[in-house]
Amino acid sequence: MSNTATTGPRQDNRRLQLLDAAARLFRAHGYHATSMRDIARAVGMLPGSIYYHFPSKDELLLTVYEEGVRRIAERVDAAVQAQRQPQQRLQAACIAHLEMLLDQSDYAQVVLRVVPDNTGPSQRRLIALRDQYEVRFKQLVAELELPPEVDRHYFRLLLLGALNWAQTWYRPGGDPPRIIAMELLRALYGGENQT
């Protein structure tokens, strides 16, 4: 009963397993089509046991979402910081973004696949998380040299839309995400100022 802080909590491994399974299933089938029983079965657990780790299904989605944003942001930031020229910085960001979105992370894919409409009480926080991530692209586009007629707001929406929509037509076996990102950028720039 002593108030010692030396005692760390147990490793809590299954919590991570739960998050992994939830991310995978949410990505594959969507939020509503995935049941708590599905998630429990995927980690070899009884449905009720999930509620020791998460208070609700909604909160489970929120945690996956947060982790997804964290992972894709981390990866994109690292890619951007390795470049100097604005054009190459944006290209690096697009490549990293697309790799996470198409190949790497179930978590990141949930962020864009699961539409935060009527998914529960935390839908506003989901949207806020997504917006917070996209601020990076706002800054990258602001650095860029563009013709004066081009509205940077719509330039960003054009680029992000094209990248995110790739999730709907991408199939493994075709061009890898890196090539796709570069081809989309080339189509966008019209082949003018290419590296």
Partner DNA sequence: GCTTTAACCAAACGGCCGTTTGTTTTTCTA
Partner DNA sequence: TAGAAAAACAAACGGCCGTTTGGTTAAAGC
Q: Which residues bind a second copy (CB under 8 A)?
A: 28-30, 32-33, 113, 115, 117-118, 146-151, 154-155, 157-166, 168-169, 180, 183-184, 186-192, 194
Q: What is the dihedral of CA 47, 49, 53, 58, to 10 degrees?
A: 20
Return the residue matching tokens 């690292």: 78
Is 8 a binding residue for DNA by CB under 7 A? The answer is: yes
Task: Give the nearer residue to a second copy in terms of CB position, either 16 or 127.
Answer: 127
Question: What is the C-alpha separation between 70 and 66, in angstroms, rounded?
Answer: 6
Q: Could you tell me the two tokens for 25?
A: 């299933």
52 binds, among DNA, a second copy, none (CB under 5 to 8 A by kind): DNA
35 contacts DNA (rule: CB under 7 A): yes
Encoded one letter per residue, x for contact with DNA by CB under 7 A and - for no contact, window 53-92 reads x-xxxx----------------------------------
Q: How far is CA 13 from the centre of its chain?
A: 23
Per CB under 7 A, does 29 bind DNA? no
- What number of CA atoms fall less than 13 Å from residue 82's CA on the CB side? 11
In the complex, what is the shortest distance from the CB of residue 28 to a second copy, in angstroms, rounded to a whole number? 7
Angle at 17 between CA 15 and CA 22, to 5 degrees: 95
CB 182 within 8 A of CB 99: no
Residue indicated by tokens 């696949």: 113
45 versus 184: smaller Cβ distance to DNA: 45
Options 42, 45, 162, 182; binder of DNA; rule CB under 7 A:
45
Stretch of residues binding DNA (CB under 7 A), selected from 22-30, 52-60, 96-104, 144-152: 52-60
Q: List binders of DNA among 115-144 (CB under 7 A).
A: none
Least Cα distance to 166 among 176, 156, 152 occurs for 176
